[in-house]
């Protein structure tokens, strides 16, 4: 323990604590900007400055450890002056466009400069420019970039993709795509973690709200919307709703109010994915030798993009089952369209996803129908749907819950937990067990795969055989696992990969709370819903039974293969 | 009013002069990560600020040059911009009235030509090829020793761990403490404030004060792989040490009677005490390295047998054969080879130079070693004849000053022409041709040429010729290894493209170079040999580094290393270094700016805890 004084408060904190953490633990607030706990403590913005007794040089609280008998002052004339100057310098390179910025009202720089009382610009403004492919699902606007380096850090350390880099040293320091490649030529997985870690509006998703509004206004199309499992953990955050209030049923009412015609649940097609993927896995296991590489899930498009750019040689190990989003689109524009007597072109199929990579997935040529229309016409992130609701001046608290539409609005608890790391694996094992044994295990049998660690494993028995499953989240963790698998240091049968830390609940399309990792807070909502659900097995979902009975036949049937499976090729990203 | 008055310096002029001096200091430690376009532009602008404003090329041209360079820097402009920059710089160089203008343009022109690919990259791809900044001293050290780390440990009185941390990247902490050329100090960021940290001095303090020579290092499980190392010098022993820690079974084959290579047979003991050298060697041997002494690999068959007996080989035979001057009577009695003299001293064979007049030819570190050894062997007079100026000598300035203090006479601008002999074929003098210094040569040193005066006779009973060493590599060429000149042509990864399993590094690849470069080669070889054998072992010392001291960076003098008085030390071969006090070491360690924590390294290019 170390004893020190901050602003007259004498405190004792563990050795190795930073001044910032020590202060916060005693209710003393030191402003920060570039700092991000456990990711970015590099002292770049020089906002968290503090003064030490008898020292002239100010130090950054974020990366200076406390020392015995240290005396720290957080608000001295020198601190105030330097902090104010530094924020004004940052503002001189930041295109202040708060009124039209997606981060207006949720921007750390805006908050900071408001709090500090930044006045008229003291310095000549000079914005960096960058050319950007505005059709790409991820948008970078360097005129707003404050060079906090967080995007570089998250991509380097959490995702191991090194998409971002400092392009020039010296006076013109700029952040851009490594070697200034066009973003579409880079190995970006579109996980969107750089967006959720950006303190300002320099990084954002491509805004497709305009296209959505156009479709809603078109009397000739029927809008069919699917809501991904993870949305129900997060959509209410912007409106001050508790997780209990922010149900998918309340969101359904709001979406209908906005004008969506039919509101469905991606949980349905999560169940469908489980039917196909677990059947595929059981088939895979019939031929698998202990030393063979495992089968990988393929429902996370960030992971699939990663596999295509980093490990194209592994693509044959990926499940051919389409993701829930794409299965949903495929079923909507065939079986369901038939059912309600519409042609596929009369349906505008929309998904609400916690994810940026889903936008790219929906646009893949292989996810397009023979007539050239995509199975999913438009993907909106949680943030975009939040913005839509806000722009309609709706207060969600005033809306009652309502049932989702039949039949694709029905999903099981197994489908709901898809939104969390480990969820796909748990759901798949529940159904695989049933397929092998002809009866359900207790729904919580496989709960050992739950958790927050980057890589977890569980061994279970299927048909008298040990099956070793590994669940991994975050692409750096994934890379490590794959390297170990390839080197023969790790063996297993089935791997679930989610590109984002914590899975879709922590997805790159989810609401942004600067400095907070939300996945661990959101996941319990999914497990609560699963726990309280009467329906906890994908194969028990009556709508699933119906679609197989009426249309698909059995899992892995020719129709199912044609409609619900794909072939992963590296050239298609 | 008086007809004349004396000039005085105004306060403003003094401040300006101080600013200029700090520009000089700053430029001396310019990080390698600086964008060449940007530095050229900044240079043009700085020079422009010195323009008197009279002549067109300087007054206008330097400003335009800066603007054009900025255009390139930001990725604007085109190939035509580069051409315009070249034309502008060339015109200013050829037409400005005074050196303020034409010299500025000449430097920019040189930069543009040398960095053309980098300039083109800015234009075509829009980013800079310059590497990211790292920790200056660590980056400059060929072995990438964690210098701020061990300085912090010294500051925290943890000398054992400081030495151990050095050993993570360099198993010769003691030898390097005394003889390293310390390239780390060149770009020390402290130079911006006052003067670089005395890094080698602190290392000396650490090894002098460490209670234990070697703390246990993590050792991998035995791999069953056998590795042969040819040559027990710094490079071979470095590779042996790390490979042994990686779990391989290493045998060193040493031609001579003792280990240490040039550390023993090239560096006299007054600079590196044999006991200090032995501390490092013993520490290396504690890992279980096997050694065969007096073991010569003389024939291709010998080499092939070694190859057959081992899974991989590392050749680190150094550069031990003499280069000749090619002057008349070079083979006379009394003309000695520096390599042989120092080798003899290394094996405690001390010739008696009492009453002899010695002339040493050359200006490198070996020349100084030989001259200073001659003094200690009792020579009556020692003269160092060098064909360039004293300031052009490649020997470290401290070495030259040390030699002068011990009584050596530097005869600069004297090129040897012949050895004079008596009828017994015994050398009696070295004839030298006085030189005048002339224009700079291609390496940027002023080249000497014969002065229009008569040759001079330097009386000499003994002439010693340390002008360079060759690699004894004929046998290896016969065994099928590629060579470049006499050197083995191994890659920067220490391997050969067509000879799998054979690695080589150190002086036998680079030609005579520094100890730390040889050590770096051994480290690189160890890593790559481990990979070659199918492993991925890592070397790590696992030592927590103290937090930086949060001192205000006020200018403070650099610690000086003390030596025994010249009159005393010239009498013997005992270590001439005097210990550094705790007080001095603490102050010096506190001067370290901790570039591992502050600056870019906090973000990228920071501490590497293993390799």
Q: What is the pLDDT of residues A255-301, one digit of tens each?
A: 999 999 999 999 999 999 999 999 999 999 999 998 899 999 999 99
In this complex, do B35 and A168 lie within 8 Å of one another by their Cβ atoms? yes
pLDDT at B32: 66
For residue B187, the distance in angstroms to the closest alpha carbon of chain A comes to 18
For residue B251, the distance in angstroms to the closest alpha carbon of chain A comes to 29
Look at residues A154, A329, A137, A352 and name the one whose alpha carbon lies nearest to residue A234. Answer: A352
* Closest Cβ–Cβ partner in B38, B597, B598 for A170: B38
**Residue A448 clears pLDDT 80, i.e. is over it:** yes
**A52 — contact with chain B (CB < 8 Å)?**
yes
3-state class (DSSP) for residue B321: strand
How many residues are present in chain A?
573
Q: Residue A452 — very low, low, confident or very high, per pLDDT cuts 50/70/90?
A: confident
Contacts A–B by Cβ distance under 8 A: 58
**A55 — contact with chain B (CB < 8 Å)?**
yes
| Residues of chain B below pLDDT 50 | none
Residues A202-259: tens digit of each pLDDT = 999 999 999 999 999 999 999 999 999 999 999 999 999 999 999 999 999 999 999 9
Domains and CATH numbers, chain B: 34-125 (1.20.1440.230), 136-215+541-602 (1.10.1060), 226-320+471-532 (3.50.50.60), 322-469 (3.50.50.60)
For residue A492, the distance in angstroms to the closest alpha carbon of chain B comes to 22
For residue A455, the distance in angstroms to the closest alpha carbon of chain B comes to 22
**Residue A136 clears pLDDT 80, i.e. is over it:** yes
In this complex, do B602 and A64 lie within 8 Å of one another by their Cβ atoms? no
Residue burial B260-276, b: 16+ Cβ < 10 Å; e: rest: bbbbbbbbbbbbbbbeb
Tokens of B602: 């906090």
Which residues in A lie closer than 8 A to residue B126 (C-beta atoms)?
Answer: 167, 176, 180
* Closest Cβ–Cβ partner in A56, A64, A168 for B128: A168
Cα dihedral B218→B221→B226→B232 (10° resolution) = 10
Nearest residue of B to residue A60, measured between CA atoms? B598
Indicate the fold that domain A122-202 takes in CATH.
Answer: Alpha-Beta Plaits (3.30.70)
Look at residues A343, A311, A339, A316 and name the one whose alpha carbon lies nearest to residue A480. Answer: A311
**Residue of B36, B128, B193, B597 to mutate, interface with A, max A Cβ within 10 Å:** B128
Tell me the C-alpha distance between B290 and A55, whole Å.
55
Residues B239-252: tens digit of each pLDDT = 999 999 999 999 99
* Closest Cβ–Cβ partner in A63, A65, A170 for B602: A63
**Whether domain A279-321+413-564 has CATH 3.40.50.300:** no
Which residues in B lie closer than 8 A to residue A172 (C-beta atoms)?
Answer: 38, 73-74
**For chain A, which residues make up each domain, given as ranges?**
2-91, 122-202, 209-268+326-398, 279-321+413-564
- Measured from the Cβ of residue A366, the count of other Cβ atoms closer than 10 Å reads 12
**Residue of A42, A155, A157, A486 to mutate, interface with B, max B Cβ within 10 Å:** A42
In this complex, do A57 and B552 lie within 8 Å of one another by their Cβ atoms? yes
Residues A485-517: tens digit of each pLDDT = 999 999 999 999 999 999 999 999 999 999 999
pLDDT at A75: 94
pLDDT at B321: 85
3-state class (DSSP) for residue B440: strand
Q: How much helix, strand and coil, in percent to the nearest 5, is found in chain A?
A: 40, 15, 45
pLDDT at B29: 78
Nearest residue of B to residue A62, measured between CA atoms? B602
**A57 — contact with chain B (CB < 8 Å)?**
yes
Cα dihedral A372→A373→A376→A379 (10° resolution) = 100
Indicate the fold that domain A209-268+326-398 takes in CATH.
Answer: Rossmann fold (3.40.50)
pLDDT at B468: 78
In this complex, do B74 and A172 lie within 8 Å of one another by their Cβ atoms? yes
Residues A71-88: tens digit of each pLDDT = 999 999 999 999 999 999
In this complex, do A57 and B130 lie within 8 Å of one another by their Cβ atoms? no
In this complex, do B38 and A65 lie within 8 Å of one another by their Cβ atoms? no
Domain A2-91: assigned CATH number: 3.10.20.740
Look at residues A72, A90, A88, A80 and name the one whose alpha carbon lies nearest to residue A28. Answer: A72
Helix (H) / strand (E) element for B381: namely: strand B381-385
In this complex, do A44 and B125 lie within 8 Å of one another by their Cβ atoms? no
String of DSSP letters for B52-90:
-S-SHIIIIIHHHHHHHHHHHHTT-S-HHHHHHHHHHHH
Tell me the C-alpha distance between A445 and A536, whole Å.
12
Tell me the C-alpha distance between A359 and A368, whole Å.
13
Tell me the C-alpha distance between B442 and B436, whole Å.
18
In this complex, do B127 and A149 lie within 8 Å of one another by their Cβ atoms? no
In this complex, do B127 and A64 lie within 8 Å of one another by their Cβ atoms? no
Nearest residue of A to residue B30, measured between CA atoms? A170
**A65 — contact with chain B (CB < 8 Å)?**
yes
pLDDT at A290: 87
pLDDT at A562: 94
Look at residues B259, B236, B309, B317 and name the one whose alpha carbon lies nearest to residue B529. Answer: B236
Please report, rounded to a whole number, the percentage of residues in chain A having pLDDT higher than 90.
Answer: 93
Cβ pair B447, B441 in contact under 8 A = yes
Indicate yes or no: pTM above 0.80: yes
Helix (H) / strand (E) element for A255: namely: helix A248-258
* Closest Cβ–Cβ partner in B125, B552, B603 for A42: B603
**A149 — contact with chain B (CB < 8 Å)?**
yes
**Residue of B72, B134, B604 to mutate, interface with A, max A Cβ within 10 Å:** B604
Q: Which residues are B416's β-sheet partners?
A: B432
Cβ pair A496, A470 in contact under 8 A = yes
């Amino acid at each position: 323990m170390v004893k020190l004084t901050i602003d007259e408060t004498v405190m004792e904190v563990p050795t190795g604590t930073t001044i910032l953490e020590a202060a916060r633990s005693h209710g003393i607030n030191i402003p920060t900007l570039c700092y991000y706990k456990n990711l970015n403590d590099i002292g770049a913005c020089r906002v968290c400055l503090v003064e030490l007794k008898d020292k002239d040089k100010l130090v950054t609280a974020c990366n200076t450890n406390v020392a015995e008998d240290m005396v720290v002052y957080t608000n001295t004339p020198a601190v105030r002056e330097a902090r104010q100057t530094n924020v004004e310098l940052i503002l001189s390179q930041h295109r202040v466009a708060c009124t039209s910025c997606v981060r207006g009202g949720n921007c750390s720089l805006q908050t900071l400069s408001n709090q500090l009382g930044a006045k008229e610009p003291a310095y000549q403004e000079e914005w960096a420019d960058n050319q950007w492919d505005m059709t790409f699902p991820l948008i970078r606007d360097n005129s707003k970039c404050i060079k906090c380096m967080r995007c570089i850090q998250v991509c380097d350390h959490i995702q191991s993709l090194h998409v971002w880099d400092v392009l020039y040293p010296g006076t013109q320091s700029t952040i851009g795509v490594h070697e200034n490649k066009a973003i579409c030529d880079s190995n970006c997985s579109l996980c969107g973690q750089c967006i959720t870690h950006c303190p300002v509006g320099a990084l954002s998703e491509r805004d497709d709200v305009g296209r959505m509004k156009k479709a809603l206004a078109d009397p000739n199309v029927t809008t069919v919307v699917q809501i991904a499992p993870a949305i129900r953990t997060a959509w209410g955050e912007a409106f001050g709703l508790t997780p209990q209030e922010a149900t998918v049923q309340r969101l359904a009412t709001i979406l209908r109010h906005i004008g969506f015609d039919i509101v469905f649940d991606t949980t349905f097609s999560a169940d469908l994915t489980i039917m196909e993927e677990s059947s595929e896995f059981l088939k895979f296991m019939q031929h698998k030798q202990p030393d063979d590489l495992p089968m990988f899930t393929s429902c996370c498009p960030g992971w699939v993009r990663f596999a295509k750019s980093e490990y194209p040689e592994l693509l044959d190990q990926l499940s051919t089952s389409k993701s829930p989003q794409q299965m949903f689109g495929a079923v909507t524009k065939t079986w369901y369209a038939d059912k309600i007597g519409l042609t596929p072109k009369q349906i505008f199929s929309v998904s609400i996803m916690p994810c940026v990579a889903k936008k790219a997935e929906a646009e893949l040529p292989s996810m397009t129908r023979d007539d050239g229309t995509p199975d999913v016409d438009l993907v909106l992130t949680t943030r975009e749907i939040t913005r839509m609701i806000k722009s309609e001046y709706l207060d969600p608290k005033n809306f009652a819950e309502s049932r989702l539409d039949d039949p694709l609005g029905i999903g099981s608890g197994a489908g709901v937990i898809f939104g969390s790391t480990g969820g796909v694996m748990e759901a798949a094992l529940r159904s695989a067990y049933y397929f092998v044994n002809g009866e359900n295990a207790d729904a919580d049998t496989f709960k050992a795969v739950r958790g927050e660690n980057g890589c977890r494993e569980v061994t279970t028995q299927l048909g008298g055989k040990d099956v070793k499953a590994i669940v991994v989240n975050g692409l750096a963790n994934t890379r490590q696992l794959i390297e170990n698998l390839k080197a023969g240091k790790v063996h297993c049968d089935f791997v679930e990969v989610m590109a984002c830390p914590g899975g879709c609940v922590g997805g790159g399309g989810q609401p942004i709370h600067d400095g907070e990792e939300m996945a661990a807070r959101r996941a319990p909502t999914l497990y609560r819903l699963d726990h309280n659900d009467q329906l906890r097995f994908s194969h028990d979902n009556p709508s699933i039974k119906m679609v197989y009975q009426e249309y698909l036949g059995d899992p892995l049937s020719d129709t199912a293969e044609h409609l619900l499976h794909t072939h992963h090729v590296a050239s298609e990203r | 009013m008086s007809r004349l008055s004396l000039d005085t310096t105004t306060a403003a002029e003094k401040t300006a002069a101080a600013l200029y001096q700090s520009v000089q200091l700053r430029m001396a430690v310019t990080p390698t990560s600086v964008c060449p376009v940007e530095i050229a532009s900044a240079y043009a602008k700085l020079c422009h600020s010195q323009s008197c404003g009279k002549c067109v090329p300087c007054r206008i041209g330097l400003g335009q040059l800066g603007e054009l360079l900025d255009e390139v820097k930001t990725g604007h402009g085109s190939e035509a911009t580069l051409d315009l920059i070249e034309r502008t710089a060339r015109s200013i160089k050829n037409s400005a009235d005074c050196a303020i203008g034409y010299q500025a343009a000449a430097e920019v022109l040189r930069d543009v030509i040398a960095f053309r690919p980098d300039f083109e990259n800015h234009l075509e791809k829009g980013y800079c090829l310059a590497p990211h900044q790292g920790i200056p001293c660590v980056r400059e050290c060929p072995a990438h020793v964690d210098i701020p780390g061990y300085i912090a440990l010294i500051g925290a009185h943890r000398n054992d761990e400081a030495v151990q941390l050095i050993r993570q990247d360099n198993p010769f902490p003691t030898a390097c403490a005394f003889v390293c050329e310390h390239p780390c100090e060149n770009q020390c960021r402290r130079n911006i404030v006052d003067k670089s940290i005395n890094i080698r001095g602190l290392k000396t303090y650490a090894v002098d004060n460490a209670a234990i020579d070697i703390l246990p290092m993590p050792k991998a499980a035995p791999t069953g792989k056998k590795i042969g190392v040819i040559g027990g010098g710094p490079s071979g022993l470095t590779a042996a040490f790390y490979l042994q820690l990686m779990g391989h079974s290493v045998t060193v084959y040493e031609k001579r009677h003792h280990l240490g290579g040039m550390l023993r047979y090239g560096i006299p003991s007054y600079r590196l005490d044999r006991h200090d050298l032995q501390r490092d060697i013993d520490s290396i041997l504690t890992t279980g390295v096997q050694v065969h002494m007096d073991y010569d690999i003389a024939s291709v068959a010998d080499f092939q047998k070694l190859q057959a007996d081992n899974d991989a080989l590392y050749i680190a035979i150094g550069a031990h054969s003499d280069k000749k001057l090619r002057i008349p009577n070079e083979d006379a009695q009394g003309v000695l080879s520096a390599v042989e003299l120092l080798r003899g001293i290394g094996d405690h064979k001390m010739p008696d130079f009492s009453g002899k007049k010695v002339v040493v030819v050359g200006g490198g570190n070996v020349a100084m070693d030989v001259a200073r050894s001659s003094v200690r062997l009792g020579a009556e007079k020692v003269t160092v004849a060098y064909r360039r100026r004293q300031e052009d000598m490649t020997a470290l300035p401290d070495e030259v000053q040390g030699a002068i203090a011990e009584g050596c006479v530097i005869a600069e601008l004297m090129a040897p022409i012949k050895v004079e002999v008596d009828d017994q074929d015994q050398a009696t003098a070295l004839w030298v041709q006085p030189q005048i210094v002339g224009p700079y040569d291609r390496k940027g040193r002023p080249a000497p040429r014969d002065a229009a005066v008569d040759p001079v006779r330097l009386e000499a009973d003994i002439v010693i010729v340390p002008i360079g060493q060759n690699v004894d590599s004929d046998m290896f060429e016969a065994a099928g290894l590629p060579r470049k000149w006499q050197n083995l042509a191994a890659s920067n990864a220490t391997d050969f493209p067509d000879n799998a399993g054979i690695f080589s590094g150190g002086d036998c690849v680079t030609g005579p170079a520094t100890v730390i470069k040889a050590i770096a080669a051994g480290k690189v070889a160890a890593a790559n040999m481990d990979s070659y054998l199918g492993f991925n072992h890592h070397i790590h010392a696992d030592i927590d580094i103290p937090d930086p001291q949060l001192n205000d960076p006020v200018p403070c003098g650099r610690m000086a290393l003390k030596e025994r008085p010249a009159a005393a030390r010239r009498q013997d071969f005992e270590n001439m270094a005097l210990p550094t006090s705790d007080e001095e070491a603490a102050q010096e360690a506190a001067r370290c700016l901790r570039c591992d924590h502050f600056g870019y390294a906090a973000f990228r290019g920071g501490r590497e805890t293993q390799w």
